[in-house]
Amino acid sequence: QDNGRWSVADPRVPAANDRLTCIITSLDGTWHRPFTTLELAAIQSLVEPEEQFELDGLSDQAWRERIGNAVPPDAAEAIADVMGTTLLLAALGETFMLSSMPIWVRPVAVGLSVSQQVTQ
């Protein structure tokens, strides 16, 4: 693929008409099967694995593309919360706020170590 004078064509890139079978291989040489369309939708939290799942159309490739382009519901909600807060603060004239929302800052777990010695 040559994208202009600032890039170098990679001879390993397959031709557009080559049919590929992609396999995920671990470091020890074990290969793993590709995810099914249902598994991809479950990873994106679009559907529960036990539910019946069907998207519009008959093309599995189109389904996978739509699933890959989707924003998971929990992430979409978190993004909307931050955007809403930002818009409200901007309307009030605030230009900066150090956020402590869990999406940006991981809550710190504080542990206390107590000596287990038994005194006599």
Q: What's the number of domains the chain is made of?
A: 2
Does 7 have pLDDT greater than 80?
no
Q: Do 39 and 89 sit in the same domain of this protein?
A: no
Q: In terms of residue numbers, what domain contains 11?
A: 1-70
Check residues 101 and 58 and name the one with the higher pLDDT: 58
Type of residue found at 110: V
Residues contacting residue 42 through CB under 8 Å, at least 6 positions apart: 48, 49
Torsion region of 4: left, alpha or beta (phi above 0 gives left; psi -120 to 50 gives alpha): left
Confidence of residue 69 (pLDDT cuts 50, 70, 90): very high
Q: Which stretches of the chain are assigned E, i.e. beta strand?
A: 24-25, 31-32
Task: Render pLDDT for 32-61 as a digit per residue (tens, 0 to 9).
Answer: 778 888 888 888 888 877 778 778 888 888
* Cβ atoms of residues 43 and 16 within 8 Å: no
pLDDT > 70 in the chain, percent? 74
- Are 30 and 88 contained in the same domain? no
80 plus 39 within the same structural domain? no
* Residues forming beta bridges with residue 67, ordered by sequence position: none
pLDDT of residue 95: 74
Q: What are phi and psi of 53, to 5 degrees?
A: -135, 125
Whether 54 is in a domain gets the answer yes
Q: Is 101 left (phi over 0), alpha (psi -120 to 50) or beta?
A: beta
Is 39 within a domain?
yes
Q: Is 90 helix (H, G, I), strand (E, B) or coil?
A: helix
Query: Domain check: are 63 and 78 in the same one?
Result: no
Tell if the pTM clears 0.75, that is, is over it: no
